[in-house]
Amino acid sequence: MSESNGFAATIASLVVDRPGTVVIVFLILTGAFGAGLQQVSMSGGTGQFTEASPAQESYDEVQAQFGSPFAVETGSTLVIHRDENVLSKASLVRMLDVQEGVSARSGLRVQDTSSPATYIARELDPTADTLTAQHQVIDRATPSEIGGAVETAEQNPEFRELLSEDFNSESARATAAIGVFSHEVPGRDETAVGVTADSAFRETQLELQDIVTTYEGDFTVYGSGIIAEEFGQIIVDSLQIVVPAASLLILGLLFLAFRDLFDFLIGVFALVTALVWTFGLMGWAGIAFSQLLIAIPPLLLGVGIDFGIHVINGYRERATKEGLAAAMRPTMRQLVVAFGIVTGTTVLGFSANLTSQLAPIRDFGVIAALGILVTFLVFGIYLPAIKVLVERLRERLGSQSEETQQTGVKSPIGKDGSVLEPLLTAGIVFGRRAPKLVLVGVLLTGIVAGGYGAGVETSFSDEDFLPPEDIPDYIEYAPEPFGTGTYTVTESTNFLEANFEPSSSDSLTIYYERPMTGDTSLELIDQAGSIPPSAIEQSGVRTESRSIQTVIDTYASQSPEFAILVARNDRDGNGVPDDNLEAIYAALRDSPHEASVERYLSDSNRQTVVYYDVESDATQSEVSAAGTLLENRLRGDATATGTTVIFADIAGLIYESAIISLLAAIGITAVFLVLVYHFLFREWMLGLVNLLPILLTVTLVLATMRAFDMKFNALTATLLAVTIGMGVDYSVHLVHRFIEEYEGTTSVYNALYPTMRGTGGALTGSMLTTAAGVGILGIAITPILQTFGILTALSIIYAYLTSMIILPAALIVWDRFGSMTEQKHPQGDTVVTDGGDREVDEFEWVADGRNHEFKRVAEGENDEFEWVADGRNHEFKRVAEGENDEFGWIGDG
């Protein structure tokens, strides 16, 4: 341990002897890192995750070949129109007004636009090719003429897709319609599922939104640009809510813990410095700020307060009127080593997220690990140096409080006689009486909780990153600047899903590559849907699907000539042509349905796409399994894709990330602790003792997630590794303090009591502030942050409780079998050492390694004690006096 003591002594000397130099260096570095804050950019949404999905490549090919009328990723903007009847003449005119006004803006680069109004106008006058002409047609039409045009247009599936599901062709009524605008966006090559905060359509759709608001009627703009804008807005709004709330809560608890204005201000200054360093480094490194990283500030605030409380509390434990250096120097020597171990375990825990295949999770691991390193430097060196400067200034100015003037320092948390003492030492009481039973209980609890928690589910969706449709009142009515903007995406998404047929982005998509002119090509597609998977919507005994066969059926119902062509080439009379498919496709391309053919069949007739409508209550995993089943039924190169399948892939990667990062965190943390405790203290088993509480904590977190139906998502995938990284801190602090105390005593209890009172008291304060700071994410706007905040706060509480309860028992068992005990008390020694000075004293009987309670009944050369356990008297002769009196056992009384 000499090397660590040497390093710690060097740091302690630097802080105590040259605090001014330390502060100046840190101020210069703060200015340098602070300049990086201007370089921080933002990135949000689900699009940043989909690159890792194999199904994404197939989706890209589908988009490139066939496009999608409702896919917000393809350069389209949707304008949702709501009215009592959107097919009334007045409503149709209002929609055309919007279409004309938007198309007239050259900056929006509108290439094409369609709506129910344009289809109806062309039914009334096929020559009405422009919006102006269509507007005139609708203006001149009578309600009955419009009703007739609606009945005719109803045969066109593209017309029906633009109307809500309550559409009634006989009465020509519907309560909602969609207008579609296709844009040309120079330089855009993005086709990934999901939306990122830097979407190419942001400015285009925001301008379109401003235009639409000037028209009469209920119109809502929906598209990737709007979603991207709200993703970015959510990040800003979340920070405006979470960081101030976390800061106020943590600072309030910090003030209660320090009970000193100067110590409080020192802590605040250090917190701000740590945040500036962390996010300045992120800016210089070019890592974009995403929703996942919103969780970083509360985490760093919590860990920083943890370190700060230990420094101040450790100083107060040792402080006397003999001088500041006499208190701070040993405090630093002890805490630098403890902080080093804690920082190592926390960094390794967070860095375990680098094993993830998902880039945002890896970024989270990098920034969190950097933040912990920064926190160690700021709170392990900078804060103590400031504390030394401030205390020396206060001594010169005589500005110490009455308590400080009397005792030399404010009292530490958990001192002897404090109200917390019985709670802090409860673990010793349990461990003293039945340490092995405690450990068996821990093992059984871990097995049960872990087995139950193994059933935690995983999810990934846009909704995780978007605010709820109904914003809570405490957010909606929060005063500026803590309030939020206006969000429309969640409501619009829910409205589209509830009122319109699923678009291709909401369906299961099968991308099929094979020559589609072969005799069995269409029959294979038909047969694949003959026994529908449970997740796919059914029509009778068949699947609800859209494919090139849908176009054939539609045109056959309208054209007798084409129907004859199909029947002539249909061997089994099931409506699916088997022969002469090339001629059938050519006839379709020469028909009014040419555009529909392009949606399902490539120009080369070698690629096709089939869209299967999924049940509204089908889970991602069920839809993905249905896609695999349909792939297997089709001969050739068939690939299941679509938003749901891609998101299911990501959900699988999230679960994989959670498990692998957990195993990595446990493994590397265990190796680190074993090596550290071996080289520093020659007690490698203590490294494993450190892990007992945190392993139980992980199982309790998993059990809690399943009990409250909390799923792994893009952020909680990091939770288990974060739990290891942060939770092991509590056991490290306790075990390190125990070793410091144990080396100077002959009793395990003489080491445990000051450990649990002193360090346990500091941990209580840091647990409350850390859990509160991270738990404040529970009031965040988005579900993903809320869940993470609640679970992380619970994991911190669990880690604290398990450390305080389990470690005393584990250390007692270690003491009985560990090498340090054997070195101190050779075999056969019958020494009994005094373990307390209360009415009923506690003794450690070294001969059997157990603890016995005795009551002193007579004093003299040979003191007499009553053994409380059996009521008999035993005589002992005092053979040595000191902190722990030693007695020779004379015999039973």
Looking at residue 520, its pLDDT comes to 82
Least Cα distance to 236 among 403, 484, 446 occurs for 484
893, HSE (Cβ side, Cα atoms, 13 Å): 18
Q: Check: CB of residue 45 under 8 Å from CB of residue 231.
A: yes
Please say if the pLDDT value at position 508 is more than 70: yes
Q: Which two tokens stand for residue 124?
A: 């009334």
Q: How confident is the model at residue 541 (pLDDT cuts 50, 70, 90)?
A: low
pLDDT digits (tens, 9 = 90+) for 147-183: 999 999 998 888 998 999 999 988 999 999 999 998 8
Place of tokens 């090509």: 521
Cα distances from 451 to residues 442, 445, 454, 494, 659, in angstroms, run 14, 10, 5, 36, 14
Q: Which two tokens stand for residue 82?
A: 């709501």
Length of the chain as a residue count:
893
The 3-state DSSP class for residue 869 equals: coil
- Rounded to the nearest 5 degrees, what angle is found at the Cα of 435, between the Cα atoms of 432 and 440? 155
Q: What are the residues facing 867 on neighbouring strands?
A: 854, 872
Please say if the pLDDT value at position 18 is more than 80: yes
Compute the distance between CA of residue 309 and CA of residue 764 in angstroms, rounded to an integer.
Answer: 10
Compute the distance between CA of residue 169 and CA of residue 173 in angstroms, rounded to an integer.
Answer: 7
Higher local confidence (pLDDT), 542 or 677: 677
Compute the distance between CA of residue 779 and CA of residue 336 in angstroms, rounded to an integer.
Answer: 35
What does the mean pLDDT of the chain come to?
A: 81
pLDDT digits (tens, 9 = 90+) for 299-311: 888 788 778 877 8
Q: Check: CB of residue 862 under 8 Å from CB of residue 877.
A: yes
End-to-end CA distance of the chain: 46
Q: Check: CB of residue 115 under 8 Å from CB of residue 178.
A: yes
Compute the distance between CA of residue 366 and CA of residue 816 in angstroms, rounded to an integer.
Answer: 41
Compute the distance between CA of residue 650 and CA of residue 656 in angstroms, rounded to an integer.
Answer: 10
Compute the distance between CA of residue 636 and CA of residue 571 in angstroms, rounded to an integer.
Answer: 22
Please say if the pLDDT value at position 809 is more than 70: yes
Mean pLDDT within 725-739:
89
Higher local confidence (pLDDT), 187 or 315: 315
> Could you tell me the residue ranges of all domains in the chain?
2-43+230-459+649-815, 508-641, 826-892
Q: Check: CB of residue 181 under 8 Å from CB of residue 79.
A: yes
Looking at residue 613, its pLDDT comes to 83
Compute the distance between CA of residue 768 and CA of residue 775 in angstroms, rounded to an integer.
Answer: 10
Please say if the pLDDT value at position 9 is more than 90: no
The 3-state DSSP class for residue 621 equals: helix
Q: Check: CB of residue 691 under 8 Å from CB of residue 437.
A: no
H or E element in which residue 76 lies: strand 76-82
- Under DSSP, the state recorded for 458 is B
Compute the distance between CA of residue 774 and CA of residue 304 in angstroms, rounded to an integer.
Answer: 12
Q: Angle between the 643-681 and 54-66 helix axes, to the nearest 10 degrees?
A: 150
Compute the distance between CA of residue 148 and CA of residue 268 in angstroms, rounded to an integer.
Answer: 73
Compute the distance between CA of residue 301 and CA of residue 243 in angstroms, rounded to an integer.
Answer: 10
Q: What are the residues facing 608 on neighbouring strands?
A: 512, 601
Higher local confidence (pLDDT), 243 or 660: 660
Q: Check: CB of residue 261 under 8 Å from CB of residue 776.
A: no
Q: How confident is the model at residue 674 (pLDDT cuts 50, 70, 90)?
A: very high
Q: Which two tokens stand for residue 157?
A: 């599936």
Q: Check: CB of residue 58 under 8 Å from CB of residue 511.
A: yes
The 3-state DSSP class for residue 519 equals: coil
Q: Angle between the 359-377 and 719-742 helix axes, to the nearest 10 degrees?
A: 30
- Residue 332 CB partners (closer than 8 Å, separation 6+): 8, 11, 12, 15, 16, 384
pLDDT digits (tens, 9 = 90+) for 417-473: 556 777 888 888 888 888 999 999 999 999 999 999 998 988 888 778 878 888 777
pLDDT digits (tens, 9 = 90+) for 191-216: 455 555 455 678 889 999 999 999 99
Please say if the pLDDT value at position 879 is more than 60: no
Compute the distance between CA of residue 425 and CA of residue 755 in angstroms, rounded to an integer.
Answer: 9
Q: Check: CB of residue 158 under 8 Å from CB of residue 10.
A: no
Cα distances from 581 to residues 395, 523, 584, 588, in angstroms, run 96, 11, 5, 11
What fold, for 2-43+230-459+649-815? Multidrug efflux transporter AcrB transmembrane fold (1.20.1640)
Please say if the pLDDT value at position 111 is more than 50: yes
Q: Which pTM value belongs to this model?
A: 0.76
